[in-house]
Amino acid sequence: MSTIAHDTTVKASTDPSIFILGTRSVAVPLRQRVESALQSGPGNVCLDFTGMTVTQSYMDELLGVLILRYGPALLERVAFKMCSEDVRAVIQFVASARIRDYRELAAKSAIS
């Protein structure tokens, strides 16, 4: 288990009526907060998914977009807290697919 210190912890949702984070648009404000926190200093960000379910579309808009922008190294500065097994699987799927996309795009850029 990593002992990394997390400078910023962000709850995925603070609305008690929400248990599923489903549409892409819902992910955008959280992604902007994460991006802002990462850019503001060398610290890390912890995303808290306590009690939440996420769709692949939501997680792709949150994490997938960040990976495509910053590459796999982004995962060294982001941690995921209190994720159910389902949420972990969605995160693993999105990260895996988008890292592959990132590498393919980088390889194409290098060739051209």
Partner 1 sequence: MIHFPKLMLGDNLPSLVKIATALVDDYSPTVECNAEDLITAEPVALCLLAAAFGQLQRRGQRARIRGLRAQVKENLARLDVLREWLRERPEQLQSVDSGDSQSILRACRVATLGEANELANMLSREIAAFVPADDMGAILQTDPSLYQYRVVEQPLGYIIAELLDNSLNHARASGFGHARAWVAAQYYGVGDLLRLAVVDDGCGFLESLKHHPGVTPKTHQNAISMAFQPFFSCKKDVGIFRDATHQGIGLTVCRDLCLRADGQISAASGTAWLSSPATPGEISRRLNPGYQGSVVMMTFHRRAITPGSLGEIFRRYQPDENLPIRFI
Q: How far apart are CA 89 and CA 27, in angstroms?
A: 18
Interacting residue with partner 1 among 32, 50, 69, 86 (CB under 8 A): 86
Binding characters for partner 1, 1-40, by CB under 8 A (x = yes): xx-x-x----------xxxxxxxxxx--------------
How many residues bind partner 1 (CB under 8 A)? The answer is 49
How many C-beta atoms lie closer than 10 Å to residue 101's C-beta? Answer: 13
* Residue that is written with structure tokens 């980088």 in the block: 106
Virtual CA dihedral for 92, 81, 43, 72, nearest 10 degrees? 0
Interacting residue with partner 1 among 12, 30, 37, 57 (CB under 8 A): 57
Cβ burial 70-80 (10 Å sphere, 16+ → b, else e): beeebbebbeb
Rule CB under 8 A: say whether 64 interacts with partner 1.
yes
Residue ranges that bind partner 1, judged by CB under 8 A? 1-2, 4, 6, 17-26, 46, 53, 55-58, 60, 64-65, 68, 72, 75, 78-81, 83, 85-86, 88-101, 104-105
